[in-house]
Amino acid sequence: MEEDIKKRLERDLRLAASRLRRMGALTAIEERPGPLGANSLGADEGDVIQANESREIGFATREVLVARVNRLSAALDRLNRGEYGICVECGEPIARARLRALPEVQRCVQCQDGLERRRLERGDERLTLRT
Ligand SMILES: [Zn+2]
């Protein structure tokens, strides 16, 4: 069972990392100041706005992916140390069904709920994206 989890984590990590690399390459090209910048006389205003919007979506997706890569590699670390499946907060084992659904989780349901409540109380919406 642990071997299956390891394979799944490694595969997910590879996928997320390669998506991130492709995205990074794409963004680098977009960000390079070219002759057709926003101050170009030929640029249509609508196109510029649309380009900015899709760039923002790209940033958001990239942040989510970076967080996922971090979580997945942390999960692999814990697996290698024999700490996988143990809640980082209370030290209790995380339910198998939860690990199967979300192999990179670090907390049991109770601690995750508490964490999300604390985040909501602080009004930190950005962090609720992360597991
Ligand atoms: Zn816990």
User: pLDDT tens-digit profile of 60-112?
Assistant: 888 889 999 999 999 999 999 999 999 999 999 999 999 988 899 999 999 99
Phi, psi for 69 (deg, rounded to 5): -60, -45
Q: How far is the CA of 83 from the centre of ligand 1 (A)?
A: 13
Phi, psi for 93 (deg, rounded to 5): -65, 140
Q: How far is the CA of 113 from the centre of ligand 1 (A)?
A: 9
pLDDT at 39 over 60: no
Would the pTM count as exceeding 0.85?
Answer: no
Q: How far is the CA of 84 from the centre of ligand 1 (A)?
A: 13
24 three-class SS: helix
Q: What are the residue boundaries of the structural domains of the chain, listed by start?
A: 1-84, 85-131
Cβ–Cβ < 8 Å for 11, 71? no
Q: How far is the CA of 2 from the centre of ligand 1 (A)?
A: 20
Q: How far apart are the first and last CA of the chain?
A: 22
Average pLDDT over residues 35-55: 60
Q: How far is the CA of 10 from the centre of ligand 1 (A)?
A: 24
pLDDT at position 28, please? Answer: 52
Q: How far is the CA of 86 from the centre of ligand 1 (A)?
A: 8
pLDDT at position 62, please? Answer: 86
Lowest mean pLDDT among 10-19, 27-36, 64-73, 90-99: 27-36
